[in-house]
Amino acid sequence: MQKTILILLLSLGCLMVSAQNENNTSVSPKKKHQIYLGIEGGSRSFDTKSRDYEFIRAQAVYYFGYHNEHSQLSWFTYAPFIALKAEYRSYNDKFWMSTGLRYSSIKTIMGSYSDYANNTDYFFVMLSQNQEETHYYRINEIRETSQYVGVPVEIRYSPFLPRFFRLYFKMAIDLNYKLANKREVEFFDPAMKFHEKEIAGLFDQPGSFYAAVDFGVGIQLGRQNKPNLRLEGDFPSFVLTPEAFGLADNTFGGGVRISFIFPLKAK
């Protein structure tokens, strides 16, 4: 994983050097605003893969006579975020390089959701077992929230001349450090709430670091050297550290973001 991150950082570095070389060889008739500040918000969702937890027993259902023990269990992960970033633009205004600080909250939900009126929306988790008895608890949902602070390194390229409406493409790497983690268990019987810590402790704990690489396309609205509005879609977004998450593995996904940027300094 470290080699992958290093290769991606080197690739972004080469693109930035290439943009700077083009910047130095360009002839600009007038000085332009080159440093921008911006605020960004958005959300991602991930393709979440379940792990092989032997202590989980889902209710069994039948589809055309085929027994599927885990057919009712589902996992879902989404990650809202907000960021403050600084951006440097080449003189020809085609390459935009940015970095900053990003706060994100990754939320994973595991639950049992039935499409059939006769089935109850819960699954079983085995807490303990010995030669005489086994203790199972009925669970409606398990929710995990991990908060991260990260540093995005991004490069955008627009092949079009400056205009009010511009299409651009993006490549980025996102490095994140975990600040806090919270896991909640919703029991079918609320009286079992005092077992929450024990049930939550059965699952893997999230790692302290995760990284992702994003590719995307977006549109920018606004004049050159003026405040701009951006609407951007991230797809695909690859998670380089799928094992870093606790309840399940997140491999890839996508998302949307909106940002507002304004010129700060002319060079």
Kindly tell me if the per-residue pLDDT of 129 is higher than 70: yes
CA angle 146, 147, 149 (to 5 degrees): 140
Is the separation of the CB atoms in 178 and 137 below 8 Å? no
pLDDT (mean) for 16-34: 49
Residue 4: per-residue pLDDT: 52
Residue 58, classified by CB atoms within 10 Å of its CB into exposed (0-12), middle (13-18) or buried (19+), is middle
Which domains does the chain show, CATH number per domain? Answer: 2-50+76-109+144-188+205-266 (2.40.160.20)
pLDDT (mean) for 205-230: 93
Q: Percent of the chain beyond pLDDT 70?
A: 78
Phi/psi for 220 (5° steps) reads -115, 135
Confidence of residue 59 (pLDDT cuts 50, 70, 90): low
pLDDT (mean) for 248-261: 93
Kindly tell me if the per-residue pLDDT of 57 is higher than 90: no
Q: Percent of the chain beyond pLDDT 90?
A: 53
Is the separation of the CB atoms in 265 and 33 below 8 Å? yes
Kindly tell me if the per-residue pLDDT of 171 is higher than 80: yes
| pLDDT tens per residue, range 77-125 | 999 999 999 999 987 889 999 999 999 999 999 987 655 544 567 888 9
pLDDT (mean) for 180-203: 94
Kindly tell me if the per-residue pLDDT of 250 is higher than 50: yes
Residue 244: per-residue pLDDT: 84
| pLDDT tens per residue, range 222-248 | 988 899 999 999 999 999 988 788 888
Residue 25: per-residue pLDDT: 45
Cβ-Cβ contacts under 8 Å for 81 (sequence gap 6 or more): 40, 41, 42, 43, 44, 102, 103, 104, 105, 257
| pLDDT tens per residue, range 130-146 | 878 888 899 999 999 99
* More confident call, 120 vs 194: 194
How far, in Å, CA of 264 to CA of 36, rounded? 5
Kindly tell me if the per-residue pLDDT of 71 is higher than 50: no
How far, in Å, CA of 246 to CA of 107, rounded? 11
Residue 201, classified by CB atoms within 10 Å of its CB into exposed (0-12), middle (13-18) or buried (19+), is exposed
* More confident call, 196 vs 22: 196
Residue type, 217: V
